[in-house]
Structure 1
Amino acid sequence: MALKMENLSDYEGELTAEDNCNCLIEDMIKRKFASLPFVEKEIIVNSPKPAPILSIQSQTKTFKRHFKKEIYENIPWICGCAHLSKLFCWPCILFSEELNVWNKFGFSDLNNISKSCKRHECSQSHICSTVQFKNFGKGVHIEENITLHNKEVTANRYILSKLINAMCFLTKQELPLQGHFEHHQSDNRGNCVELLHLLSELDLKLETHLDNSPVFTGISDHIQNDLISSISKVLRDEIKSEIHASKFVSLIVGESTDISRSTQLYTIFRYVDENNDIHERFVGFVDVSPDRTADDLFQHICKTLKEFECSDKLIAQTYDGAAVMSGEHNEVQLKIQNICPNSLFVHCYTHRLNLVLSQSVTHIAECKRFFKKILSFSSFFCKSPKRISLLDCEIQKRFPTAAPTQWNYNSRILNKVFEYQKELLTIFDRIMKCEDEWDNDAVMNAEVLHRYLKDFEFNFNLHLFSGIFDSADSLFEILQEKTFDITYCINEIKNFVKFLDGKKVDFDSMWNKLITAKFNRKRKVAECMADVKKTYKLRYSKILKTLSADTTNRFRDIENLKFMELFNVDKFKIYEKNFPDFLFKSLQLSYGEYFDFMRLRKKFENGV
């Protein structure tokens, strides 16, 4: 039946009949509700849904299910068509543009009606149609509500952007967010709250929000933590997308001890993006204090590689700190290479030198005690401004802060003691003579340090390691600066080993110098120490031999990185005249599957 304007009044009355749908549903399926005039639409929407009694039944193995009229009451959106003997969704017939069983073909399976209704109610098409059905004719109010809602959303997003900016600024500057007492009565409510109030003085919208918002201000500790977590998730997702687009990835893992003395394992990815820009992305800390075994660290790395989906892209791995990771016994890098064959292990060479000088001789008790004594000089002067002032007057130079994991800082302390030994003795003498002007701790420690400087054992080690550290400092700077000149670095490492081996012949001259200074040229006393000399000579040789062997051992794989010289721009002109075949062989051994070596060779021969 075609619906016409002239019989609308008759049709309006007929729609209330429960026994007859007057083929309205068939008409809506054919003509489409959207094509009708507004007056006609309004009559249909405001009229009761077609709810005739249908002759539908469904047969199962055990019983027969019949249609019941109560279904229209239990499910408000269901309507029926007596002519088709099918059930339909009344809102979807009128407003849905997506064709389905409930608005086009009809539903008649009474055995599965409950599941089908629940599934249809959750569909986006049904939800949108229901909203349109309920809001039909209320367009002006809806538009006002939508405008008001959008305005509120825009304002909230603006406030949220300011909160996020504050969080990002504080974390970028490595400042703590929360205070100990953030109540409005507190003089200092923490960096985050105070920063937001400072910004509010320049931002009227933010000021209004902070002063008048009854529920959400965004400054509570829970909101701060939620924002930090959200920012972290966004950053990690961005890093994942960059890594996904990158062809090659390297992994940097290391250890750091926080203020609570917990060992935190940090992870960094290094990769090249689509624009050939190099990025290093920090992805987080993990507390490994309870278990620092090689297996546990290996499992953490595998989990990280799986999360960022880059196991097949890993071409290099390096570990700074984490002695268990790079040690000979645990060999975590070898376990990683078993699952990522091309992940070349590169340990920071300046850190390796640090390990040589800070750990190689720690098994020698006299050396271990000596380095503890050296650190006590820095600790003594760093504890008091008064002591620092005295140091400034006598030497005009200060001791660097001791760093147990950084040998080069300890080297600077040792060199300061060696260079200003006489001035330090004068300082300690003044403190001991003027006891009334100094606290007990200063006097007692001054006596101890004064005794160290007069002790023959201490002076022996001081002279020995001062000579070694002078040469080691030069090597340290070379390894930091000559990144691509691997051949030069290898030669300097070999020269350092030769220096250690050749220093063995210097024992007698150093011994005589110490004996003369200590005993004021008393030959008899010196002769009495002939037996002691043998003991010191054995230790002297043992220290040099240990350092030499450990240096050779720790730098034995640096030859594998010779291909790095191919990136040395300063040598490109040389490569044009004398092609570096040995560097190409080194590159083929490490990353042979990644390069077209014929094409690469032509580029180098043509000046790259």
Structure 2
Amino acid sequence: MDIRKFFLTKVSAAESSPSVQSQQEEESLTSGSEQIIDFDDDPLDAEEGSRSSCLESSEELPERAGSSSVNLSLVCEATDLGDVEKGPVQPKLAQYPYEYFGTQKRSFQFHWLEKYSWLEYSIQKNASFCFSCRNFGTKQGRSHLDSLMCKSGYKNWKRALDSFKEHDKSSAHKSGMLSWSAYKDSILRGNVLEKIQTGREVQIQERRDYLKRLVAVATFLSKQGISFRGHDESENSQNRGNFKECLNLISKFDTFLKNYSPPANSTYTSPLSQNAIIQCCSEEVSSKIVNELKASGLYSVMADEARDHQKEQLAVFIRYVLPENGEIKEHFLSLKELKDFCADSITESLQECLKDYGLDSLLCVAQTYDGAAVMSGVSGGVQAKFQKYHPEAIYVHCYAHELNLVLCHTCKAIKEAKDFFNTMENLYTFFSTSLIHHQKFKDAQSTLGLKPGELVQLSDTRWSCQIRSVNALITNFVPVCKCLSEIKSSTASGLLSNLKKISVIFLSLCSKLY
């Protein structure tokens, strides 16, 4: 049956009998909600099952709904709908406004809102909208229905269910629903960019905490003068070196280090990484020293040669005064490898060291070295060549070297002192070169209840070493005499007789007192 003929028949009947039409309208208005015809039970739908399309847009209503002649293309979007924060507006009314469709009146039904979560209703316009397409639609729908659900609203309640079903399956609606779902997920858990940024910040903080512990271990080992690496640092090694073993020890008590697993390509425990950490610590310390020195405005430089196996190096020290409290500071600055031992090579190395730290332009008022000719020479020594770069830098022979030389030469000039130190050197040689004699010395200490100790070798250049040698002899004087008396040899007898001399005992006590 043609739907247009049906409506034309109804309209013609109404026009021919106005009284009948008025009577029908009065019955419809007095019947209340009981007279609302549900779409699923409408006999008209059963008759129209063979239709090619069951949709009727709101623009077709004026000619089919009698007095409801509203042009929705001119109606602005409703202002009482939900936004992305509040969600769809789904009001539950005791009775929704009616719309006439021929002789029948229909209204919006609340159970439609329960069935479609995306559906919302505008009381202001008495129209339904798709919340997801209206707020999150990324592409224009192909059908006119999709456009109405987003913009003007849909209010053909007679065909509402079929229209909602078709819109629910459209690609434009599915895209909007997907965007809406992603938005709700981003509110709860954060969007993808926020998650990436948060994960990146957490990763950066974890790596910083990890590096803090590595630096702490490196500074501890450096401060204590302990070696970093071992001979075998593999996973199966019993001793992987002090650096890695310290980290393993800390991880037993540190929850973070115990649970944190650094990336395989950035553990920062390899020899190269350890050297890099040491270098960074060195630069930080040097930077603080240089900043204090620049604030002081003037300084003095001290340098001495230091041999490292087959490598000759120049140790450079800086001495300055803090302007705020007058405190005197003396710090090690750098080690510079020497290519040659001549005065020119040493001077250039010293000047390069100062230039590397930006100190070559500051006022240098003094230079201090030992008394070697290559360092102290008036015309060809380092002190003379260094004054070409720093004219104000007067040369001062190192007082520590001078005092050490005075003491050593004085001891060699006095016969009793010379014999005393010769006796000490012979005692050290006697007990250190023979394992049998050394074991008897240990047994004598144990018998007398003394702490194990060793005799100290004399030094020709450092007086402090000679003092330690004297202190070691005084501490172990009784076990030394006991061993020498038990050992039957001419050398032991000669050493024992020398130890019993009044001059040796007197000088030992003087060294202890002074």
Give 1 or 2 for the bigger CA radius of gyration.
2
Higher helix share: 1
TM-score for both structures, normalised by structure 1: 0.43
Could you state the TM-score of these two structures normalised by the residue count of structure 2?
0.50
